[in-house]
Amino acid sequence: MSTAPLPLGDTGAPEPATDRTVIGENLSLPLFRTLSGVLAGHPYLKVVVDRAEATWHLLDTAAHPFHVNYIATRVLGMDLAELDAALDEFNASVYMDPERRFLLGVLSLHTEQEAEGRERTFLVLETTEADTMHGELLEFFYSFVRERVDGRLPLLLKPANHSQEEELAAVSEQRVPRILSHELFGTRTRTPLNLGDATGRLRHFRTVREYEAAAGELGWSDIVAMPCLPDDVRRVAGFINTAPITPLSHTNVLASGWGIPNAIVHDLEQLIEKDGLDGAWVRYRVREDEITLERLARAPELRAPAWHQQRIRLEPPLLADAPVLSLHRLRSADRDRYGTKAANLGELYHVLDSRTADLTAFHGRPRPPRENLYGHLAARLGLRAPATAELRAAAASFVAGTVGAPEGVALPFSLLHRFLTSSPALQQGIGKLKMALELDATDVLDPLCLQLQQLVRHTPMPESVAGEITRALPAPLATGVRLVVRSSSNAEDLPGFSAAGVYDSVTTVRGTDELLDAVRQVWASLLSPRSVRLRQQVGISLDDTYMGVIIQVYVPAALGGVLVTCNPTRREDFRNVYLNCSPGSPEKVVEGEVLPQQYLYNTVEGGGRTVALGSWTEGLPAATRARLADLSLAGRLLQSHFSAPEVDAPLDIEWLLTDQGDFRLVQIRPYAL
């Protein structure tokens, strides 16, 4: 597993009085352990090579949290105020200047099991993620360190970004032995997905069937552990996966939205056997650098979680007759008639057509000691010291030239309302469900929901409703081509309630009959046992909950996936966005049909790196990765508009790369943190 690259030289905490940093000495394993800290579960040591003095510095991790602070204050005699005043220029001189004096890196210590069962210990050398060392400099850096490290310790160089991978392709592996990030990532025993703490009873299930048999008795104080949690998992205190999963899966989005810890723990079986954890009360902690399960001697006194008292109030939906509209005619304010997803896609059209939308707000926020990131954004857009208006115009043009919005129409809540009120049987079924909810009759809740869903799917639509749907379809949607029918509710993407994966979408629709069936299926998903339970838990009234529908032409995709404009496992990281992708539609990523490729892209200094290859043996071509870097920056810029005024609130974007090579955004929603 790779150490997470350390931040660029942001101001750190005051240095402790004791400093054990050594200069010029060879590195032995005991010295490494004396100076090292722990990051992402592995010991690591910061090193600085001074080319001018032909020596290196082994930094005491406890004393020096940042390379550049050490170089500026201890080597060059600057004070921190001077460094802060010119931090970005200083960073450029040590990370990007091809003739730089200082080479900055991290040595991390790893072990792996060999075929004979023996453990192999080795060191990995890497730079920070934004470092632009060319191949010759990387080879010099490796050789310099190799000569000064105990020869009994194997040393591998890990490229920190795609640019370094490409530079090293021309360098012999005999001269520079290397390991790629995803190769280390794949060996990691424990991987954080959502940080947090939980105290509860550990419930371990080896199969989905075991989980389903016990699901009815699971409560808020349980911690569910199994190879891969189902999307309809109950709301509990924590998740543990024992098989690989991506941070952008539906279950981890739920964990993030619910504020509960989630991690991959490959060695859970061994922990359970060693400590007798199954069914035991445990304290479960997920940190960026450590994941622990501690058995408790006795059942603790626990208070019900805050969400038991949580009451989310929706703005009353507007149920007066509204027309079926093309997506481009909607705006964000239409969410109370057409639902959140439809309104956001309409807003996307507006942003892409506008040259006045300010997409630079994220970069305008202070990132101490920086007043803003405008200079970095200008560099990404190929501008030199532009005026504010010029930068805004360039950002808007970049986004409009990088991504497009999907063609389609939106069905308003009023059509569902007319459909439901057209049938006495439906009205009677809804009345029974409301009564069960009022009486908290959980034993009959699921059967009532399932009966009501079946009734919605098979009740004929009134001719006026069906005709309004079919007549409003523009020619491309009415010619028998494949359609995608998506949900768009007002009870999702809310603070404290994300509803990721809760409502249905249908992606294989052809012809009028299938279209009307798909619309009823999406409507019915509003009444699924899971969606009703989750809304009931947070006080969302069934009376206020409605479903709009989006109808789009299916677009064949060469690549599809999900992008979130943050780093899910490092909340303080304002540089990177996280991207998952796989050949084909985005649904394969979010529904867990395949384990996607995972990438991080730096939207400040530029560059990207591969986190994992998922179900594939090779990464994407360099040209495609460059396109994804543009997509990532476009997502960051859109964040400024869609999350205003809280411009640091990240977005969750589903996207696809069409066969014609264009990016299409098919969904934009807040990413629950």
Task: Select from 560, 586, 576 the least CA-distant residue to 639.
Answer: 576
As a whole number, mean pLDDT of residues 613-636 equals 93
Q: How many CB atoms lie within 10 A of CB 210?
A: 13
Does the pLDDT at position 117 exceed 80?
no
Residue 84 pLDDT grade (very low, low, confident, very high; cuts 50, 70, 90): very high
Lowest mean pLDDT among 180-184, 461-465, 497-501: 497-501
The predicted pLDDT at position 589 comes to 62
Q: How many CB atoms lie within 10 A of CB 227?
A: 15
Mention every residue, 6+ apart, whose C-beta is less than 8 A from residue 570: 4, 288, 576
Task: Select from 366, 484, 464, 359 the least CA-distant residue to 419.
Answer: 464
- CA dihedral (47, 52, 53, 56) in degrees, to 10, reads 10
Lowest mean pLDDT among 112-116, 243-247, 344-348: 112-116
- pLDDT, averaged across the chain: 90
Q: How many CB atoms lie within 10 A of CB 136?
A: 12
Cα-to-chain-centroid distance, residue 329:
30
Structure tokens at 374: 């405008």
Query: Which spans in 71-180 are helix H?
Result: 80-85, 87-95, 135-147, 162-168
Residue 510, amino acid: R
Lowest mean pLDDT among 20-29, 74-83, 437-446, 454-463: 437-446
Residue 310 pLDDT grade (very low, low, confident, very high; cuts 50, 70, 90): confident
The predicted pLDDT at position 48 comes to 98
**Interhelix angle 511-525/442-458, nearest 10 degrees:** 160
Does the pLDDT at position 349 exceed 90?
yes
Residue 16 pLDDT grade (very low, low, confident, very high; cuts 50, 70, 90): low
Q: How many residues does the chain have?
A: 673
Phi, psi of 292 (to 5 degrees): -130, 150
The predicted pLDDT at position 244 comes to 86
Residue 392 pLDDT grade (very low, low, confident, very high; cuts 50, 70, 90): very high
| Proportion of the chain above pLDDT 90, given as a percent | 70
Residue 590 pLDDT grade (very low, low, confident, very high; cuts 50, 70, 90): low
pLDDT: which is higher, 664 or 539: 664
Q: Residue 249 and residue 193: Cα distance in Å, rounded?
A: 10
Phi, psi of 364 (to 5 degrees): -85, -10
Q: How many CB atoms lie within 10 A of CB 559?
A: 20
Lowest mean pLDDT among 245-254, 581-590, 599-608: 581-590
The predicted pLDDT at position 648 comes to 82
Q: Domains along the chain?
A: 22-180 (no CATH), 190-305 (3.50.30.10), 310-358+395-554 (3.30.1490.20), 556-670 (3.30.470.20)
The predicted pLDDT at position 443 comes to 86
Q: Residue 92 and residue 385: Cα distance in Å, rounded?
A: 16
Q: By three-state DSSP, how is residue 125 classified?
A: strand
As a whole number, mean pLDDT of residues 469-481 equals 81
Structure tokens at 15: 């240095």
The predicted pLDDT at position 626 comes to 94
Instruction: Check: pTM over 0.85? Answer yes or no.
Output: yes
As a whole number, mean pLDDT of residues 472-497 equals 84
Q: Residue 637 and residue 648: Cα distance in Å, rounded?
A: 11
Q: Residue 112 and residue 310: Cα distance in Å, rounded?
A: 46
* Most confidently predicted of 128-132, 508-512, 598-602: 598-602
Task: Select from 162, 187, 157, 160 the least CA-distant residue to 173.
Answer: 157
Strand 403-404 and strand 663-670: pairing?
Answer: parallel
The pLDDT tens digits of the residues spanning 161-199 come to 999 999 999 999 999 999 998 887 666 788 899 999 999
Does the pLDDT at position 308 exceed 80?
no
Instruction: Give DSSP secondary structure letters for 17-60.
Output: S----EESPPBPHHHHHHH-EEETTEEEEEEEEETTTTEEEE--
Residue 644 pLDDT grade (very low, low, confident, very high; cuts 50, 70, 90): low
The CA–CA distances, whole Å, from 373 to 406, 603, 629 equal 31, 10, 18
- Give, for 274, the enclosing helix (H) or strand (E): helix 268-275
Mention every residue, 6+ apart, whose C-beta is less than 8 A from residue 369: 10, 11, 84, 85, 87
* Most confidently predicted of 138-142, 183-187, 441-445: 138-142
Does the pLDDT at position 408 exceed 70?
yes
Q: By three-state DSSP, how is residue 450 classified?
A: helix
Phi, psi of 440 (to 5 degrees): 55, 40
The predicted pLDDT at position 5 comes to 47
- CA dihedral (337, 342, 346, 349) in degrees, to 10, reads 180
Cα atoms found within 13 Å of the Cα of residue 5, Cβ hemisphere only: 27
Q: Residue 443 and residue 441: Cα distance in Å, rounded?
A: 6
The predicted pLDDT at position 3 comes to 41
Q: Residue 365 and residue 601: Cα distance in Å, rounded?
A: 20
Q: How many CB atoms lie within 10 A of CB 335?
A: 24
Q: Residue 422 and residue 159: Cα distance in Å, rounded?
A: 63
The predicted pLDDT at position 1 comes to 31
- Give, for 209, the enclosing helix (H) or strand (E): helix 208-214
As a whole number, mean pLDDT of residues 478-505 equals 86
| Proportion of the chain above pLDDT 70, given as a percent | 93
Strand 42-50 and strand 55-58: pairing?
Answer: antiparallel
As a whole number, mean pLDDT of residues 588-609 equals 84
The predicted pLDDT at position 500 comes to 76
Residue 290, amino acid: E
The predicted pLDDT at position 341 comes to 95
Query: Which spans in 62-116 are helix H?
Result: 67-70, 80-85, 87-95
- Give, for 200, the enclosing helix (H) or strand (E): strand 196-204
Does 230 sit behind a cis peptide bond, omega within 30 degrees of 0 on the bond before it?
no
Does the pLDDT at position 75 exceed 90?
yes
Cα atoms found within 13 Å of the Cα of residue 286, Cβ hemisphere only: 26
Q: Residue 662 and residue 667: Cα distance in Å, rounded?
A: 16
Does the pLDDT at position 9 exceed 60?
no
As a whole number, mean pLDDT of residues 134-139 equals 96
Task: Select from 611, 587, 586, 582 the least CA-distant residue to 599.
Answer: 611
Phi, psi of 273 (to 5 degrees): -65, -40
Structure tokens at 238: 């924590």
Lowest mean pLDDT among 444-453, 624-633, 641-650: 641-650
Q: How many CB atoms lie within 10 A of CB 260?
A: 24
As a whole number, mean pLDDT of residues 12-27 equals 79
The predicted pLDDT at position 4 comes to 43
